[in-house]
Amino acid sequence: MALLIACGETSSLPYHIALLRFLNGTFDTIKRDISQIVVSIFCCQHKIHENARICGGESLLSSSFEDLLTTIGKKCQLSAQDYFPQKKNFDDGRDPHVVFNVLDTMLKDNLERLKIMRESISFSKKGLLGLKFQDIHTEHIAVVRDLCLEGKLGAALCLRRKMMQKGFVPDVFTHNYLVNGLCRSGDMEKAAWLIREMLEMGPLPNHVTYNTFIKGYCLFDNIDKALDLFSTMINSAIRPNRVTWNILVHALCRKGILEEDIMLLQEILNDNDKESPDVVTSTIFMDSYFKNGDMVQALSVWDKMIQKCTEVDVVAYNVLIHGFCMSQDLKLANRYVCEMLKKGLLPDVYTYNTLIGALCKEGNFSESYYIIKVMSKMGVIPDQISYQLIIQGLCLKGDVVKASELLLFMLENSMVPEPLVWNYIIYFYGRQGDLSSAFSLRDQMFAFGVPPNVFTYNALIHAQVKRGDIEGAFSLREEMLLYGLSPDVVTYNLLIGAACNSGNLHFALLLHDEMLSRGYKPDIITYTELIRGQCMKGNMKKALKLFSCMRKSGLLNDHIPFQIIIKKYCKLGKRVIASNLYQKWLASKVDDNS
């Protein structure tokens, strides 16, 4: 009773009712404190404004938290109705033992309710934090994958490391993104390190991981490493599958290996996979036979596919059509295009481009234009390669005007070609001596946001040199440097040749020294131009010295520079020296061949 009076409870009430009110007040206080804790959790996790606070005893909670507190409050609220009959004439003079028994029961029940309330709040806090962490890590995984696709592998690996430091290990799917990105960039050592970490720390690599790793080695022609990894897979829990086999077969066929090694791989694979070679494997073999010129073997593979009722796809037909186009058998190529359509397989852009390329080689440009129209009607949009094939064919035929018109058609249809197409037309304008059209096209490149490259300037320099405008050629070289483009071996050869033809050997040798300082190695053309320039000046000793340097540098013992020297000695009337040099050259050719 003293405790009740100290807490402000009136002594006029029965003591058990007063005690009930005291307990209810205590639990209301606890509930308000818990509501403040929940609000702080909610504000922290969802970044509510800093001024969020509890005003007037009412919590600034979302509906979900209000429901939570309401539920907890109902579970933990004391009510006398649960324990005493509702009688207006309730008399305090009843049996005190009954009252104390009731109060004892009330205390036990409410202690249980306090436990439930504490567990509910703890569970809610844990759920909120767990959900938040899960959302953060899901976002991080998505960022890692996006960074891999963009080629920003350093940032992706850094984010992975931070996630693992916080105890979250990305799944194997995300790690496969990283392995694929590293293999595509050629960083095979780091890819191997990542797979070792997966084996040590998890997640364990799967078929996709190893197949991606093997494909990376094959991509950079390291077939030995790929085969070693294949052997490792055989002795591990992850056995090679059809994808592994197809990757290795494609790499071996590309290297020209078709028989023994591939059959050995087939035997190893058959231990795990009793199925016959699928359409992918057969297509790889067929393509390799076509490229090696073995038409009989290629068609044999095709016949086996048809006999085994293999479901042939568009890719297999494309390989077959491409093989016939390589042998210039357009009738058979068109026949199988018709067969595709009869089977309900629609030709794709690769199919049409194969036909366009073959027609352009034959000079049949009218038929090429017709195929472009057919593509559009069939719902296949011609791509840059479609137009590029026709433009190259027209340029080789000498019809640069039509090629330029087709380029204009592409621009009018919002298809800006790559620099290669522009360079082709510029080069052939220069060959025809039409420098004004060549420079006009160069200006159009700038206007359409296509920056000219080294090949563009080489084509223009070649046109200037051919025209005899040496100053114009050298000014283009200065323009290249202003745009941040470094001259290559072709650029230097053109300028050295121009300087030698104009008799300016000193400048030619300066260009040769500059070429060496930039890390470029002179080729046969470089030495031929310098030898011609020395011979024009009558500096035969220097010409022979250059020829000797050419041989020591490991270049082929070409006859053109030596022929220039022999002819010059003959013009000078020194036929004996010319004959002796010729005999020495023949002897050196025999030594080189042996």
Chain segment 217-236, per-residue pLDDT in tens: 888 888 888 888 887 787 77
Whether residue 170 has pLDDT greater than 70: yes
Mean pLDDT of 453-471: 92
Reply yes or no on whether the pLDDT at 364 is more than 80: yes
pLDDT: is 517 or 244 the higher one?
517
What value does the mean pLDDT take over residues 69-94? 48
Q: Quick one: pLDDT at residue 199?
A: 87
Confidence of residue 48 (pLDDT cuts 50, 70, 90): very low
Contacts of 266 (CB under 8 A, 6+ apart): 245, 277
Q: Both tokens of residue 381?
A: 């949009």
- Structure-token match 């200037």, residue found: 464
pLDDT at residue 72 is higher than 80: no
Read off the pLDDT band of 61 (50, 70, 90).
Answer: very low
Burial of 172 (0-12, 13-18, 19+ CB in 10 A): middle
Distance CA 308, CA 227 (A): 30
Instruction: Give the residues across from 58 on adjacent strands.
Output: 55
At residue 53 the predicted structure's pLDDT band, cuts being 50, 70 and 90, is very low
Q: What is the pLDDT of residue 54?
A: 36
Please state the rounded mean pLDDT for residues 16-34.
55
pLDDT of residue 354: 95
448: pLDDT strictly greater than 60 = yes
Give me the pLDDT at residue 27, please. 54
From-to residues of CATH 1.25.40.10 in the chain: 171-275, 487-594
Residue of 430, 445, 356, 434 lying closest to 393 (CA atoms): 356
Give the number of C-alpha atoms closer than 13 A to the C-alpha of residue 572, restricted to the C-beta side: 16
Confidence at residue 243, expressed as pLDDT on a 0 to 100 scale: 84
Non-local CB neighbours of 61 within 8 Å, separated by 6+ positions: 35, 38, 39, 42, 69
Whether the predicted pLDDT of 332 surpasses 70: yes
Q: Are 404 and 441 in contact (CB under 8 A)?
A: yes
Quote the CA–CA distance of 395 and 427 in Å, as a whole number: 9
Other C-beta atoms closer than 10 Å to the C-beta of 479 total 13
**Cβ proximity of 417 and 403 under 8 Å:** no
- 171-275 folds as 1.25.40
Amino acid at 451: P
Residues in the chain: 594
Over the chain, what is the mean pLDDT? Answer: 78
Residue 55 pairs with which residues in a beta bridge? 58
Query: pLDDT-derived band of residue 450, with 50, 70 and 90 as boundaries?
Result: very high
* Spatial separation of the C-alpha atoms in residues 537 and 500, rounded to whole Å: 9
* Res. 92: pLDDT tops 60: no
Structure tokens at 182: 């590293």
C-alpha to C-alpha distance for 497 and 507, rounded to whole angstroms:
11
CATH superfamily membership of 487-594: Tetratricopeptide repeat domain (1.25.40.10)
Q: How far apart are the first and last CA of the chain?
A: 121
In angstroms, how far is CA 175 from the centroid of its own chain?
A: 15
For residue 42, pLDDT over 60 is answered with: no
pLDDT recorded at residue 258: 59
* Banded pLDDT at 439 (limits 50, 70, 90): very high
Reply yes or no: is the peptide bond before residue 561 cis, omega within 30 of 0: no
Question: 85, 99 in Cβ contact below 8 A?
Answer: no
- For the ranges 32-36, 291-295, 310-314, 352-356, the lowest mean pLDDT is seen at 32-36
**The pLDDT value given to residue 124:** 47
pLDDT over 90 at 462, yes or no = yes
**Backbone dihedral angles phi then psi of residue 255, each to the nearest 5 degrees:** -85, 0
